[in-house]
Chain A
């Protein structure tokens, strides 16, 4: 996330700023470079080097192994369901809290951000007590013959829990800054609510929606804790890609685990690249007020 440098920072320095001396600069940059190399770059390099350590052939064999193929398929399906629903929710939530004032508005914003603060394990356990055989609705839905727990629905639901704030949180600060003038003008000129949304609001926030969606997608594809609890980890059936990595690792198939990990690492790196591109593309996004980062 690159932050816009404020006007004041551009003013000419009359004296040497603190830390700008050649010696201090060299020492601080050196420490950061070493720590970053050991702590952030080494893990990334290790993933690719371990995956390819037994040759490119083994790497592709690991990726085309049926278990891993199914895990990739399941992960993509989960993302294809969870991310679009999350976009609709994010747009609705942001529209509600930024275009209207009503009692309980602040509470609603806190509720939207709540999943950020909750451990994925707690989210997973909580779902067991709703749809599990011990849960609130467990017996009822079992009687109806619907399978939620330890199946795709639970995986999607748990993913939607942990990513609930992702799109909304990108949109709310931006739409807050944009205000309601343009929408009010459109409505006054006779546009319907839906037309106003589609032709006035959406074009204004399209980059932020995309930005939120790719972050949401990365998290859905990579979610481990919550999905691990609700999926039941049934081999070849409910193992998403992160769970498959753990399974392979426990089977002492380290090369296979790293091969599967490269797929998710590629998704993560691609996410960062798109994020950087979007930040350059959309100055309006950068103008949203500074806020603490999410998970």
Chain B
């Protein structure tokens, strides 16, 4: 440690380590310990059971669908907030924070009522033969709602910082709007866009509250991994609960590594842009 004239390292470091140790690390270690008790063969049996596999498939597919929707809507929102002036812009900017501020249970309740067969949006969709609530599509909607701010808030500052010079250079070289958008603007915001999408995907994989209201939760059809963990726990099947929870933890770590790599690339990219 570099000698510092500022005192208080011991105390603040102690508080930090105690909180992280007791609140965050202790339970995670206990979970991993419990899962290691299960044994590799048994772990594999639990994770490769049809019901677990189906839950994983539903969760990953719907998280991908939610992320795809957020990629488009999030990009448009970020673009509009960064480049246009219009009445109600401040309100729209504040509205983007709603999914983070609104508890997931409230979001789930509202989305279920909105998309149920008698709901404001569910009724017209039902007339078209599209079922959202109590169907896989509902899971994707709930995941998209709870994670939309990630894409917007990651991309928005990058679009705001885009200089006019590169666009003008493109224009003076004879490029049209689409060419500038595709060849100049999109490459510049791509790392941030990818970072936002991976954050959105990671959040969708672990979402619970909003999804269980709207999903209908039928085993093998609309049951997500997080709910299956919860169900195993309620059945006092601690082995299975530990096994699935550890698999989710592993998935979260994998996503953390991907997201960090993308973000490091993003920051490097930004650094180069400013140089």
Enumerate chain A interface residues (CB-CB to B < 8 A). Answer: 1-3, 5-6, 8-9, 11-15, 17-21, 24-25, 28-29, 31-32, 35-36, 38-44, 46-47, 50, 85, 88-89, 91-93, 95-96, 99-103, 108, 111-112, 114-115, 117-123, 125-130, 134-136, 157, 160-161, 164, 180, 183-184, 187-188, 192-194, 196-197, 215, 218, 221-225, 228-229, 242-243, 245-246, 249, 254, 257-258, 261, 264-265, 268-269, 271-273, 275-276, 290, 292-293, 295
Contacts and interface: CB of A to CB of B under 8 A. Distances in A.
Contacts of A88: 15
18 contacts: A8-B164, A18-B185, A29-B86, A40-B95, A89-B19, A92-B19, A100-B2, A118-B249, A119-B252, A130-B30, A157-B23, A161-B24, A196-B7, A222-B105, A254-B113, A265-B106, A271-B101, A293-B153
B65 to A, nearest CB: 14
Contact of B103 (A9, A134, A268, A276): A268
Contact of A129 (B34, B97, B144, B167): B34
Contacts of A228: 208-209, 230
Interface in B159-207: 160-165, 167-168, 171, 177, 180-181, 185, 195-196, 199, 202-203, 205-207
Interface residues of B, number: 107
Given A89-B19, A126-B28, A268 B98 contact: yes
B77 to A, nearest CB: 6
Contact of A272 (B98, B156, B209): B98
Contacts of A275: 97
Contacts of B168: 13-15
A249 B109 CA distance: 8
B43 interface: no
Contacts of B157: 3, 290
Given A118-B252, A222-B104, A9 B16 contact: no
Interface string B63-95: 000000000010011011001101000101111
A242 B150 CA distance: 23
A77 B150 CA distance: 30
B245 A125 contact: yes
Nearest to A15: B171
Contacts of A25: 84
Contact of A242 (B16, B106, B242): B106
Contacts of A96: 9, 12-13, 16
A276 B28 CA distance: 35
Contacts of A103: 1
Interface string B212-227: 0100000000000010
B8 interface: yes
Contact of A119 (B77, B80, B208, B213): B208
A264 to B, nearest CB: 5
A92 B12 CA distance: 5
B102 A265 contact: yes
Contacts of A91: 12
Contacts of B263: 292
Nearest to A269: B101
